[in-house]
Structure 1
Amino acid sequence: MPSLKMLPKTLDGPTMISPKLDILVAKDKLFGVQVSMTIATVTRQVIRQAFNYYSNHSCLKFVESSTAIPRIQFRNATTGCFSYVGYLGNDWYGAPSSQTKCSVCSGYGLHPVNLGEDFCDDEFGSIGHEIFHAFGVHHQMSRYDRDNYISLTTALAADDQYQKLSTDNSYNYGTQYDYGSNMHYGKTGQTAKNPIYQRTMGARFGPSFIDIILLNTHYKCMCQTSSVTCVNGGYPNPNGCNSCLCPGGFSGTTCSIRDPGTENCGYCFGLMSKSKNKHW
């Protein structure tokens, strides 16, 4: 187990899996979740929605508990919005309760996720981003192949949040670079080498299709057998293996149905209107 000083901490105001860190996972793939009551009600609701989403799209299961091992502990920290990447194991000493507002700030099998109300928003994408860090997932723009897809300013290239990983300390399981990953920072200081993706970066709507593939592959959730044959790039949903997880634009049990789209979607982006309002 690496020392605490070796563990990367992400400060987000996380796509690679790090094999050098122990990953937060129980033998039965059941995680405990502890949410501080000092966290705002709306944020607690979004945390639960995020875990419901991950449970419905993987083989991982979650139960609220203040004693389960391992467990992810959400805190209303005064020091920022962040999570360490991967399971901290036995060495986590916790931060002072004056900062985290938690009653039990350390212990075996406890992984802290800090959601300071002055630093984090209460959107699914942002909270889901920090949960992915707890699962062991790094930022997308830290991939070892990122230079094939984006260019960074000199200042960003020197920022530890953009530290490039290597094939020795990360896996991407053959997934393609994902400009739309929930683990990708926004476009400021970054230039997509394919310009059509410039405004895709930083879209914090929630985990992308590829984000979930990465999660399911790493935690060995992929179905070994299934009663369905998925089309259009879909694959059997590990939560039951009797329906498919579909890429954007497709739905239905086998991903054979073309989504009709969202009403007024073109208008929202100014494609059907001369509105001067900008939506990023």
Structure 2
Amino acid sequence: MTAMDQIIEANEYEAASITEGTTLREGDIAVSNRMGSKTCFARSCLWSKSVDGHVYIAYTLSPEYNELDEKTIMKGMELIEEDTCVRFVPRTHQRDYLDIQPKSGCWSYLGVRGGRQALSMQTPDCMSSGVAAHELMHALGFVHEQSRADRDNYVTIKWSNIWKDRLRNFEKFKTNNLDTPYDYGSLMHFGMYAYSEDGDPTVVPKTSWSVQMGQGYGPSRLDKFKINQLYKCG
């Protein structure tokens, strides 16, 4: 399963729910509908960078998690930290921070919102380091790979095969692609059968059907390169 396959399964069958006035876009990106709320969808709201060149993201973990859950989430953090300037640190006094909770489903807001920021990792349904890294990449400011404005050059969306009430999850946006090539192997890419109504493919690569789209292991080489580009890691 790709990370997104696992997320879809958790969110659809566990009826993912978030706070009132907030909806999920693309299946796992929380977007607030409240007046005056900070909106970062399809554009970047970046975490601040330290003078030492690192981007420190403070977090808290719910006491409801057991030791194995904590290790899984922290492994997802380590996967992002490797070869990037991002560092996840336990919160002490920081104003902006991720509050990671076992709410219903797997989801995250996009980019930094300011203050306490919820990120849901339901246990056990969302518990894999790949899913943790996927949601953390949303928190860093990344949408799904097949949402890129140029995605039609690389994949075909089979609209007739998608659940009718999930068509909106396949929109594309005017994204900042950071001058990077399309990444079929991105941790942020939907799998071939995402939201399939009848078991037929919903996302088909234009290069070859043998191309693996999405995965569940962690950020790809290009994912990490994009993190470094977005945050000017040097």
- Relative distance call for 1:11 and 1:44 in structure 2 (3 A) is farther
- Relative distance call for 1:111 and 1:218 in structure 2 (3 A) is same
CA-atom RMSD, angstroms? 2.8
- Shift in Å, 1:60: 2.0
Task: Judge conservation of contact 1:33–1:64 (CA < 8 Å) in 2.
Answer: yes
- Shift in Å, 1:69: 2.6
- Shift in Å, 1:68: 2.0
1:51 aligns with 2:56: no
Paired residue secondary structure (1:131): helix
- Shift in Å, 1:172: 0.7
Task: Judge conservation of contact 2:97–2:116 (CA < 8 Å) in 1.
Answer: yes
User: Which residue, 169, 188, 192 being the options, matches 2:205?
Assistant: 192
1:164 aligns with 2:190: no
User: Which residue, 195, 202, 206 being the options, matches 2:218?
Assistant: 206
- Shift in Å, 1:134: 0.3
1:178 aligns with 2:183: yes
Partner of 1:216: 228
Partner of 2:86: 60
Query: Identity, % of aligned pairs?
Result: 26
Task: Judge conservation of contact 1:24–1:134 (CA < 8 Å) in 2.
Answer: no
Measure, in 1, the Cα distance between the counterparts of 2:191 and 2:43. Answer: 27
Measure, in 2, the Cα distance between the counterparts of 1:10 and 1:125. Answer: 18
1:23 aligns with 2:46: yes
Amino acid at match of 1:183: M
Relative to the length of structure 1, the TM-score reads 0.61
Partner of 2:106: 81
Partner of 1:272: none
Counterpart mapping for 1:19-168 below 5 A: 20-28=43-51, 29-65=55-91, 67-77=93-103, 79-89=104-114, 109-117=115-123, 119-120=125-126, 122-155=127-160, 156=162, 159-166=167-174
| Consecutive unaligned residues in structure 2, runs of 5 or more | 1-19, 31-39, 194-201
Relative to the length of structure 2, the TM-score reads 0.72
- Shift in Å, 1:211: 0.3
- Shift in Å, 1:44: 1.0
Partner of 2:10: none
Amino acid at match of 1:159: L
